[in-house]
């Protein structure tokens, strides 16, 4: 059973919640007391002292559940636990022989009473072991979730400085060549940083907001490069759709980084389509006449791949292809 199905089983199964939830502890104890009381009430023809048997069963159940099982069985002291159970059976047999709580005419059936004792011990041990097993699985699940969240935050924090470093470097170059353009770049960069500092700090952002962020980024690149153009196509019902922040910027940044060509105009085309609870994203960018030394996507692209694995482990499809003139990135996500 994977973590998701385990969590879903706990949250949806009423019986599991009843058996392990601390909020339902009182109801569990009341149900046990009522059940044992009802069994003994229906057995009054063969029992002279039902109150004694009732106290014995309740005491046996709770001593085993809260003393023997936690202190012996949970600590792998299996021999000591078995000896304790045997000791209880011996004490029950001796006490039952001298102080028979059953009907004198029927006498005390020691094998049957011992069997009931063992059955009660097994029931209380099983409940306690089941509770511990489910709580351990829940703890492991929460630890994994916490680790995943910490890793996602770390990856997102790595993307932000990486992107900021590139854009500040661009502005620095422009301050010497064209101060007016450098000023325009810094103004646009402030808008991008506002998005990164506030909106991207959330777990989810509107898809339309993230697309607007990409548009600002590409406009910034257009200011920096005269021979650059871009297209953003939006189809389907994008309104209200929420996604993790900064999910596409690494693909777009990588496309811009690797299509810079001094000999001809370059372009980046983005396509967004939402339909049938599925988000389709495609990024197409031109290839330069002179290939770059390294085709590696860098830190940003590696991070977004890892983020996709963590956020959508079984509900996303990513492919990166190329031909003689273009690079293609296609991403599909089940919403």
* Domains annotated on the chain, with CATH: 3-142 (no CATH), 178-334 (3.30.565.10)
What SS3 class is residue 114? helix
What's the average model confidence in pLDDT over 208-231? 86
What's the average model confidence in pLDDT over 253-273? 85
| Percent of the chain residues past pLDDT 90, beyond the cut | 15
Beta-bridged to residue 333, according to DSSP, are 279, 316
Q: With a threshold of 0.85, does the pTM exceed it? A: no
β-pairing, 278-286 vs 326-334, is antiparallel
- 17-73 pLDDT, tens digit per residue, is 666 677 777 887 788 788 777 776 665 555 566 677 788 888 888 888 889 888 888
Q: Name every residue whose Cβ is closer than 8 Å to that of residue 320 and which is 6 or more positions away in sequence.
A: 327, 328, 329, 330
CA 280 vs. chain centroid, Å, equals 24
β-pairing, 266-275 vs 228-236, is parallel
Element (H, E) at 282: strand 278-286
CA distances 106 to 91, 117, 191, Å, are 21, 19, 90
Sign of CA dihedral 250, 254, 257, 261: negative
- 95-133 pLDDT, tens digit per residue, is 766 665 555 455 555 666 777 788 888 888 888 888 888
């Amino acid at each position: 059973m994977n973590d998701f199905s385990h969590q879903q089983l706990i949250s949806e199964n009423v019986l599991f919640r009843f058996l392990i939830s601390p909020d339902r502890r009182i109801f569990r104890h009341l149900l046990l007391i009522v059940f044992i009381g009802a069994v003994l009430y229906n057995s009054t023809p063969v029992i002279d002292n039902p109150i004694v048997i009732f106290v014995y069963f309740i005491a046996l159940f709770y001593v085993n559940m809260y003393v023997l099982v936690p202190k012996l069985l949970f600590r792998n002291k299996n021999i000591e636990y078995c000896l304790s159970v045997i000791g209880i059976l011996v004490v029950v047999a001796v006490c039952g022989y001298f102080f028979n709580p059953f009907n004198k005419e029927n006498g005390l059936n020691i094998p049957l009473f011992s069997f009931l004792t063992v059955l009660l011990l097994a029931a209380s041990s099983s409940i306690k072991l089941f509770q511990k097993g489910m709580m351990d699985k829940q703890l492991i699940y929460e630890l994994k979730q916490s680790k995943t969240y910490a890793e996602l935050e770390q990856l997102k924090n790595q993307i932000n400085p990486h992107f900021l470093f590139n854009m500040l470097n661009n502005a620095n170059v422009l301050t010497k060549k064209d101060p007016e353009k450098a000023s325009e770049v810094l103004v646009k960069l402030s808008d991008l940083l506002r998005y990164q500092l506030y909106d991207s700090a959330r777990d989810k952002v509107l898809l339309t907001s993230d697309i607007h962020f990409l548009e600002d980024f590409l406009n910034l690149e257009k200011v920096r490069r005269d021979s650059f153009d871009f297209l953003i196509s939006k189809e389907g019902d994008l309104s209200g759709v929420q996604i993790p922040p900064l999910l596409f910027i690494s693909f777009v940044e990588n496309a811009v980084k690797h299509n810079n060509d001094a000999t001809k105009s370059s372009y980046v085309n983005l396509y967004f389509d939402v339909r049938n609870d599925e988000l389709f994203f495609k990024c197409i960018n031109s290839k330069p006449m002179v290939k770059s030394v390294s085709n590696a996507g860098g830190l940003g692209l590696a991070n977004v791949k890892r983020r996709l694995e963590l956020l959508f482990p079984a509900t996303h499809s990513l492919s990166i292809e190329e031909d003689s003139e273009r690079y293609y990135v296609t991403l599909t996500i089940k919403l």
